[in-house]
Amino acid sequence: MRGSILLGTVRGLAVRAHWSVPLIMLLFAYSLAARTLPGYAPGQAPVLYAVAGVVGAALLLVSLVVHEMAHALTARRAGLSVRDVTLWALGGMTRMERPTTARAAFTVAVSGPLASLFLGGLGVGAAYAVEAVLGWRIGVVVLGWLGGTNLLLGVFNLLPAAPLDGGRLLLAVLWWRTGDRDRAQRASGRAGQVLGTALGVVGWLAFLRGMTGGLWLMVIGLFVAAAAAAERRWAELVTALRGVRAEQAMSTPVVTGPDWLTVDRFLSEVAARTQHSVLPLVDFGGCPSGVVQLSRLAAVPAGRHESLRVRDLATPLSQCTQAAREELLISVLERLANGGGLPILVMEDGRLCGIITAHDIDRSRRNPRRPPFPHPFRDTDEPERQV
């Protein structure tokens, strides 16, 4: 996820935090120190409330890490490749290989809520123990708040709607019953849209009645609805592009530009002759070296047009999304988040065969069975392979 920083590694997995995490943890610490603790443990020094609030928020952050690590480690035990874990304002995200069976999808999805419920029970139990043995009210409140928050997190995540863990459980059950993963994902996405919309409406009505917490519920609902809609669109795209290879979607011949040209020469000699907004670049040997956005060139001050070369403003080839001709298009799209985004460069033996833009993907979605374009380095009279 963009805008994230590395916190450390757990069991060899990178754990990152989105920039929103410190903000939300600060809000939790403030709420705990300014409202919850004075209300349930009055008469204490303000500095004690502040320290307890920070400790409680830090323990909640650890709880979120445990939740996501439960997903990650369960996925590893199921034989799935796990990339990393990223925390953000509304929870977390574990990037991993898609489960290949409904059973694996179920076990990975249920592990996170179970971890949160376990931590919640542990926190509530510890609060009762501290009250019975020590009678330390501050500790009781912090542990009780932490346990209650984890219980709420676990129960909320079990709601049967994407992108919540309950939505993954619904997907796994429907996948097991129908044998169609994409159909199950579409159903899970529809459920998420309904639930998110309902939460948003309830939150808005609560806010109008003077309950400030309703605004937060509305934000959560809007997020759930938007994420569920995105998952539903993805499932529909997977269905439409099933079996389509990169060579069937790519545009060719490809318009390229020399990466050694200065900005002024590139704009006048290359960009002026094409309507593309992004162009692949080649080096002196004719090998691809990256891509450049024309909007970035246009933003260069006029005084630097003659001294700055295009390759200095380009995205290098190592950061571009690349695909082999025979690779399934949907597999390439799954890698977009780790690559340089669009366009996709279709490569063969170190040479550029074609590019895939958003327009090409949409065209393939609407007409997925069209034959591939002729290979740009082969005789155009060669028969095209049929799908």
pLDDT in tens, 291-304: 999 999 989 998 89
The pLDDT of 381-386, averaged and rounded, is 29
How far is residue 39's CA from residue 42's CA, in Å, rounded to a whole number? 6
Predicted confidence at residue 278, as pLDDT, reads 87
Whether residue 238 is predicted with pLDDT greater than 80 in this model: the reply is yes
Q: For each of the domains in the chain, give its residue range(s) and CATH number, in order of start.
A: 4-158 (no CATH), 246-366 (3.10.580.10)
Residues paired with residue 94 on neighbouring β-strands, in sequence order: 85
Give the CA diameter of the chain: 88
The pLDDT of 35-53, averaged and rounded, is 92
pLDDT band at 94 (very low <50, low <70, confident <90, very high): confident
The pLDDT of 134-143, averaged and rounded, is 92
Whole-angstrom Cα Rg for the chain:
26
Predicted confidence at residue 372, as pLDDT, reads 45
Strand order in the sheet with 82-88: 4-10, 13-18, 82-88, 91-96
Strands (E), 33-96: 82-88, 91-96
Q: Could you tell me what percentage of the chain is helix, strand and coil, using 3-state DSSP and rounding each to the nearest 5?
A: 55, 15, 25
Residues in CB range of 346: below 8 A, 6 or more apart: 246, 247, 250, 322, 323, 324, 325, 352, 353, 354, 355, 356
pLDDT band at 145 (very low <50, low <70, confident <90, very high): very high
Cite the active site residues: 68
pLDDT band at 377 (very low <50, low <70, confident <90, very high): very low
Predicted confidence at residue 8, as pLDDT, reads 87
HSE-CB for 349 with a 13 A CA cutoff: 1
Contact of 344 with 246, CB cutoff 8 Å:
yes
Residues in CB range of 191: below 8 A, 6 or more apart: 160, 161, 162, 167, 170, 228
Whether residue 53 is predicted with pLDDT greater than 90 in this model: the reply is yes
For 289, which DSSP code?
E
For 41, which DSSP code?
S
How far is residue 159's CA from residue 186's CA, in Å, rounded to a whole number? 16
